[in-house]
């Protein structure tokens, strides 16, 4: 203020303050008007883009409208149709209110955390079999290859059909725990499920883990902290309903200070939909919706798994296969793989004499025969 009561020229009375650059402004641009949004009335509502002209600007406007809709409906899937077919997408996270990454003084670490945060707020697809016919085909294909795992296949079939009946347009099933002696083919079953469903897999061998922080993530205040395997897998594949496999879950250990006597109980917040929907990642210091993940837990000893975790999953407990079952599976696999039928009596004798006692060994021999196109040495 000057002596004559007037404001200096550099301080204009009616000069408006510059508008803050919000997330919405960054999305639509400073000169672009935000398009009118009409959110779908329910989960999985279909948006038809087939009637769009080839005009790129119009298509961009519709694309922005879809993005804006997703911002308004975080965590809720939206299905839309293009010339390439129907797609379902969802957003799993919003950026935290605070931009700073607390607890980390390392500039490179802060930059990496922010980069992963930005990747998590992008759109993720929801894929896999999306109608009852496709699910039935998947189940039939799996049963043809893994007849001993019939109860597990039936659970996946019935649970995924129930999800469709409840409005899902993607592959989803209740968390599954398969417990059996080694060598029954559980890991091969998961590979077949991934191939049949077209979904990527996050595979975690729990027998190699010394702490649960590699699964659940650790606080970024610690220098050894890193993003969890689940978050890293989501960012890599951009699929929200990815298959997550905890192999040897009964051998999960935690040698860290104040660790639980049963480390598997730390996974409860992941497999339980209500808590997974608002899962707090300590490393990224943000909330992520992990409720779309499909979990399969594999174990040899059910007793070593925390009871609260067992209560939240479907348990399928299988007995070791008999020699006759292994021989029957061998005959089916020889035919399915197009191998020499002369292998069947050889494999039957090997199972009868105890030289092949597990499906794991059988599949190794069949893989070798398929690779070399010659008979395996069984004597």
Residue 89: count of CB within 10 angstroms of its CB: 18
- Domain holding 349, by residue range, is 323-372
C-alpha to C-alpha distance for 223 and 178, rounded to whole angstroms = 36
Give the domain-ending residue among 302, 317, 332.
317
Which residue, among 267, 245, 241, 250, has the nearest Cα to 186 in the 3D structure? 245
As for how many domains the chain has, the answer is: 3
**Position 119 in a domain:** no
CATH number of residue 157's parent domain: 3.40.50.300
C-alpha to C-alpha distance for 270 and 282, rounded to whole angstroms = 14
Q: 263 and 142, same structural domain? A: yes
Which pLDDT score is estimated for 69? 54
Q: 331 and 306, same structural domain? A: no
Q: For residue 98, is pLDDT > 60?
A: no
Residue that wins the pLDDT comparison between 333 and 5: 333
User: What average pLDDT is seen over the chain?
Assistant: 77
Which pLDDT score is estimated for 371? 84
Q: 202 and 330, same structural domain? A: no
Which pLDDT score is estimated for 190? 95
**Position 112 in a domain:** no
Q: For residue 219, is pLDDT > 50?
A: yes
pLDDT tens digit sequence for 186-217: 998 999 999 999 999 999 998 888 777 778 76
Q: For residue 56, is pLDDT > 70?
A: no
List beta partners, residue 259.
Answer: none
Which pLDDT score is estimated for 29? 34
**Position 187 in a domain:** yes
Among 173-182, 220-229, 253-262, the range with the most confident prediction by mean pLDDT is 173-182
**Position 6 in a domain:** no
Q: 311 and 292, same structural domain? A: yes
Average pLDDT of 218-234?
Answer: 70
Q: 338 and 253, same structural domain? A: no
Q: 270 and 246, same structural domain? A: yes
Q: For residue 83, is pLDDT > 50?
A: yes
Q: For residue 38, is pLDDT > 60?
A: no
pLDDT tens digit sequence for 322-334: 889 889 888 988 8
**Position 97 in a domain:** no
Q: What percent of the chain has pLDDT over 90?
A: 34
Q: 344 and 255, same structural domain? A: no
Q: For residue 89, is pLDDT > 90?
A: no
* pLDDT tier at 221, thresholds 50, 70, 90: very low
**Position 48 in a domain:** yes
* pLDDT tier at 112, thresholds 50, 70, 90: confident
Give the domain-ending residue among 317, 337, 354.
317
Q: For residue 364, is pLDDT > 90?
A: no
Q: 327 and 274, same structural domain? A: no
Average pLDDT of 303-326?
Answer: 91
**Position 30 in a domain:** no
**Rg of the chain, C-alpha, whole Å:** 27
Q: 308 and 246, same structural domain? A: yes
Query: In this structure, what token pair is assigned to residue 365?
Result: 């021999």
Residue 358: count of CB within 10 angstroms of its CB: 16
């Amino acid at each position: 203020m000057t002596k004559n009561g007037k404001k200096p020229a550099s301080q204009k009375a009616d000069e408006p303050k510059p508008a803050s650059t919000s997330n919405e402004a960054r999305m639509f641009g400073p000169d672009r008007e935000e398009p009118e949004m009409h959110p779908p009335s329910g989960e999985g509502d279909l948006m038809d883009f087939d009637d769009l002209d080839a005009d790129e600007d119009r298509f961009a406007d519709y694309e922005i409208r879809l993005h804006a809709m997703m911002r308004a409906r975080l965590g809720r899937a939206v299905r839309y149709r293009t010339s390439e077919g129907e797609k379902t997408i969802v957003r799993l996270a919003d950026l935290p209110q605070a931009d700073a990454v607390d607890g980390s003084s390392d500039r490179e670490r802060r930059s990496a955390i922010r980069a992963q945060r930005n990747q998590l707020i992008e759109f993720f697809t929801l894929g896999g079999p999306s109608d009852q016919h496709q699910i039935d085909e998947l189940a039939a294909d799996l049963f043809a290859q893994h007849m001993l795992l019939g109860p597990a296949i039936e659970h996946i079939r019935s649970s995924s059909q129930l999800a469709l009946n409840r409005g899902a347009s993607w592959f989803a099933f209740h968390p599954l725990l398969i417990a059996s002696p080694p060598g029954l083919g559980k890991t091969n079953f998961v590979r077949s499920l991934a191939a049949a469903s077209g979904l990527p897999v996050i595979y975690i061998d729990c027998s190699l883990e010394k702490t649960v922080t590699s699964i659940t993530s650790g606080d970024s205040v610690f220098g050894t902290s890193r993003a969890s395997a689940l978050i890293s897998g989501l960012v890599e594949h951009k699929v929200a309903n990815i298959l997550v496999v905890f192999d040897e879950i009964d051998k999960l250990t935690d040698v860290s200070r104040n660790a639980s006597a049963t480390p598997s109980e730390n996974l409860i917040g992941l497999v339980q939909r209500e808590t997974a929907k608002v899962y707090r990642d300590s490393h990224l210091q943000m909330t992520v919706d992990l409720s779309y993940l499909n979990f399969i837990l594999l174990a040899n000893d059910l007793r070593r798994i925390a009871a609260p975790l067992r209560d939240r999953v479907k348990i399928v407990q299988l007995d070791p296969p008999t020699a006759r079952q292994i021989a029957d599976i061998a005959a089916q696999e020889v035919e399915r793989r197009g191998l020499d039928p002369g292998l069947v009596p050889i494999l039957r004798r090997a199972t009868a004499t105890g030289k092949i006692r597990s499906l794991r060994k059988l599949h190794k021999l069949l893989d070798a025969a398929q690779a070399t196109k010659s008979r395996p040495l069984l004597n």
